[in-house]
C-alpha cells in the first residue's frame, strides 16, 4: 500500500485549485494482468502555481494529466477542482466543468484539424459552451486570445492550420486553451517537438499567459532542465509512483531521492549547484509497469538499495520545508550512510 496522503504534499498555501489524491490508473494488459500506469499519486496545486511533473518515458506523466481530465476516468482516487469532485461528475456537468481544465500537447500540428480555419478552431469552445467572461462577442474574444498569443487575427483567422509552423501551431493551441478562461492548463511536453530556437519563445508565452489569465499550470516534461525555470514546485515520477516533490530551488540544489539525483546527473550541462556531486548515470533497464518491483519501485536501479527497499514501500516524508521524498535512504543530511554509492551532500540547514 502506498497511501502517502496528500496532507504531506500541500503547496503550503490555502488557495488550492486542484487536488489529486491517491490517483490510480490501471490498464488491462491481457492474461488477467494490469499495467500499473499510475499508482497512488497525490498532490495539490495552488492558484497561480506552476507544478513541473518529470520522469522518464512511460512513468505515467501523460496518464496522470489525462486522468485529471477524466480522459479516461481513473481507476481510483480523487480529483477535485475547487469544490467539485470530478470523478463523481457525469455527462454535461462533467463536460462543462472540464472546460476549466485544458490540455496542451506535445505535437501541436497534429492537435489541430488541418482543414479548419484558425478562428473556428480557437472559437470552438465558445460555440459549444458560450462565453464565460469578458465583454463583447465571441469573435472579439477569439481575436483577443490570438493577439495575446502573438498572432494577428486579421492575418491568421481565415487561414488553416496546415499553413503554419510548429511554433505557430503551438501558439494557436495555447489560444484555443485560453478562450474559455480556464483555471488550470496541463501542458504535456508542449515544447519537446519544437526547434530549440522556438522552445524558449513558447515557454515565455506560457509564462506571460499564466500571469495575464491568472492560470495554474501543470507542466509535464521528460527532464528536469526544461521545467527548472518555470516551475514553483517540481514532482518527480518513476514507474507510476511519485518519488519526490518540493520547491524547485530546493529540489535542484538538494535532490533527496537517488532517482532525482540521477535525472539531474543526466542533464548535459549540470547546474553549478550540483557540480559538487559525483555525477553518475542510471544503470539497468526500466522494469515493466505490468510487474513492478516490490517495495520501492526504483530499488532495482538504485545504488543505495538495501533489503528493506524490497520489503517495504517508502512513504513520503518531509526532508525540508515542503520538500518530500519517498525513500528509505534519502540523500539528505545525516540520514544517509557515509559509505553510500552516491556522495552525500550535507544540507546547510537541516
Ligand atoms: N491506453 C493505454 N493502454 C495500455 N497501456 C497504456 C495506455 N496508455 C498508457 N499506457 C501505459 O502506461 C504507462 C504510462 O504511460 P504514459 O504515456 O502516461 O507515460 P509518460 O510518462 O507520459 O511517457 P512519455 O514521456 O513517453 O510521454 C506506460 O507503460 C504506457 O505504455
Ligand atoms: Mg507522455
Query: Cβ(166) to ligand 1 under 6 A?
Result: no
| Mean pLDDT computed over 191-214 | 94
Which atom belonging to ligand 1 lies closest to the Cα atom of 65?
18
Query: Cβ(27) to ligand 1 under 6 A?
Result: yes
DSSP 324: E
Q: Which three three-digit cell numbers place residue 279?
A: 555525477
Assign domain 6-100+182-335 one CATH number from 1.10.760.10, 3.40.50.2300, 1.10.10.10, 3.40.50.300. 3.40.50.300
The closest residue, in CA terms, to atom 5 on ligand 1 is 27
| 79-92: pLDDT as tens digits | 999 999 999 999 99
Pocket test for ligand 1, best of 28, 33, 61 (most atoms within 8 A of CB): 61
Which atom belonging to ligand 1 lies closest to the Cα atom of 237?
21
Which atom belonging to ligand 1 lies closest to the Cα atom of 28?
4
Q: Is pLDDT above 50 for 147?
A: yes
Distance, in Å, from the CA atom of 159 to the CA atom of 233, rounded to the nearest integer, reads 39
Phi, psi of 142 (to 5 degrees): -60, -45
**Cα-to-centroid distance, 173 and ligand 2 (Å):** 17
**Cα-to-centroid distance, 117 and ligand 2 (Å):** 28
**Cα-to-centroid distance, 294 and ligand 2 (Å):** 24
DSSP 226-293: HHTTT-SEEEEEETTEEEEEEEHHHHHHS--SHHHHHHHHTSSS--GGGTTS------SPPPPTTSPP
Of the listed ligands, the closest to the CA of 290 is: 1
Q: What is the pLDDT of residue 322?
A: 93
| Mean pLDDT computed over 266-283 | 56
Q: Which sequence spans correspond to the domains of the chain? A: 6-100+182-335
Of the listed ligands, the closest to the CA of 53 is: 1
| 39-55: pLDDT as tens digits | 999 999 999 999 999 99
Query: Cβ(107) to ligand 1 under 6 A?
Result: no
Query: Cβ(65) to ligand 1 under 6 A?
Result: no
Q: Is pLDDT above 60 for 7?
A: no
DSSP 177-211: HHTT--SEEEEESTTTTS-HHHHHHHHHHHHHHHH
Q: Indicate the helix (H) or strand (E) that contains 310.
A: helix 307-311
Pocket test for ligand 1, best of 29, 35, 187, 243 (most atoms within 8 A of CB): 35
If pLDDT is split at 50, 70 and 90, which confidence band does 337 have?
very low
Percent of the chain with pLDDT over 70: 85
| Mean pLDDT computed over 239-250 | 96
Query: Cβ(62) to ligand 1 under 6 A?
Result: yes
Of the listed ligands, the closest to the CA of 237 is: 1
Query: Cβ(59) to ligand 1 under 6 A?
Result: yes
If pLDDT is split at 50, 70 and 90, which confidence band does 122 have?
very high
From its phi and psi, is residue 295 left (phi > 0), alpha (psi between -120 and 50) or beta? left
- Which residues neighbour 326 within 8 Å (Cβ) at sequence distance 6 or greater? 4, 241, 242, 243, 244, 257, 296, 313, 314, 315, 316, 317
Q: Indicate the helix (H) or strand (E) that contains 138.
A: helix 138-148
CA 247 to the chain's CA centroid: 14
Contacts by residues 29-33 (CB-CB < 8 Å, ≥ 24 positions apart): 29/290, 33/290, 33/291
From its phi and psi, is residue 77 left (phi > 0), alpha (psi between -120 and 50) or beta? left
Query: Cβ(333) to ligand 1 under 6 A?
Result: no
Q: What is the pLDDT of residue 14?
A: 74
Q: What is the pLDDT of residue 24?
A: 98
What's the pTM value of the predicted model, to 2 decimals? 0.89
Query: Cβ(287) to ligand 1 under 6 A?
Result: no
Q: Is pLDDT above 70 for 248?
A: yes
- Which residues neighbour 241 within 8 Å (Cβ) at sequence distance 6 or greater? 2, 39, 40, 41, 297, 326
Q: What share of the chain is helix, strand, coil (3-state, %, to 5)?
A: 35, 20, 45
Q: Is pLDDT above 60 for 94?
A: yes
The closest residue, in CA terms, to atom 2 on ligand 1 is 27
Amino acid at each position: 500500500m502506498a497511501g502517502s496522503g496528500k496532507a504531506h504534499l500541500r503547496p503550503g498555501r490555502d488557495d488550492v485549485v486542484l487536488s489529486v489524491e491517491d490517483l490510480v490508473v490501471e490498464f488491462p494488459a491481457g492474461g488477467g494482468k494490469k499495467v500499473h500506469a499510475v499508482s497512488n499519486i497525490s498532490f495539490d496545486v495552488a492558484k497561480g502555481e506552476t507544478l513541473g511533473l518529470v520522469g522518464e518515458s512511460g512513468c505515467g506523466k501523460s496518464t496522470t494529466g489525462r486522468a485529471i481530465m477524466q480522459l479516461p476516468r481513473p481507476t481510483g482516487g480523487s480529483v477535485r477542482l475547487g469544490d467539485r469532485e470530478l470523478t463523481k461528475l457525469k455527462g454535461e456537468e462533467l463536460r462543462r466543468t472540464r472546460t476549466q481544465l485544458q490540455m496542451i500537447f506535445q505535437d501541436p500540428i497534429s492537435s489541430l484539424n488541418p482543414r479548419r480555419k484558425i478562428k473556428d478552431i480557437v472559437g470552438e469552445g465558445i460555440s459549444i459552451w458560450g462565453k464565460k467572461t469578458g465583454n463583447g462577442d465571441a469573435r472579439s474574444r477569439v481575436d483577443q486570445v490570438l493577439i495575446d498569443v502573438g498572432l494577428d487575427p486579421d492575418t491568421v483567422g481565415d487561414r488553416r492550420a496546415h499553413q503554419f509552423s510548429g511554433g505557430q501551431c503551438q501558439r494557436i493551441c495555447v489560444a484555443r486553451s485560453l478562450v474559455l478562461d480556464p483555471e488550470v492548463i496541463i501542458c504535456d511536453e508542449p515544447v519537446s517537438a519544437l526547434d530549440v530556437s522556438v522552445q524558449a519563445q513558447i515557454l515565455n508565452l506560457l509564462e506571460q499567459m499564466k500571469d495575464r489569465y491568472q492560470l495554474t499550470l501543470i507542466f509535464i516534461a521528460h527532464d528536469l532542465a526544461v521545467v527548472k525555470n518555470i516551475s514553483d514546485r517540481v514532482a518527480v515520477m518513476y514507474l507510476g509512483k511519485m518519488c519526490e516533490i518540493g520547491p524547485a530551488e530546493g529540489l535542484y540544489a538538494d535532490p533527496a531521492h537517488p532517482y532525482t539525483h540521477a535525472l539531474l546527473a543526466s542533464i548535459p550541462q549540470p547546474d553549478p549547484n550540483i557540480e559538487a556531486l559525483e555525477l553518475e548515470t542510471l544503470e539497468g533497464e526500466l522494469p515493466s509497469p505490468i510487474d513492478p518491483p516490490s517495495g520501492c519501485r526504483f530499488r532495482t536501479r538504485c545504488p543505495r538499495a538495501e533489503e528493506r527497499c524490497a520489503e517495504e514501500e517508502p512513504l513520503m516524508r518531509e526532508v525540508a520545508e515542503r520538500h518530500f521524498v519517498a525513500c528509505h535512504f534519502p540523500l539528505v543530511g545525516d540520514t544517509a550512510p557515509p559509505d553510500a554509492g552516491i556522495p552525500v551532500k550535507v544540507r546547510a540547514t537541516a
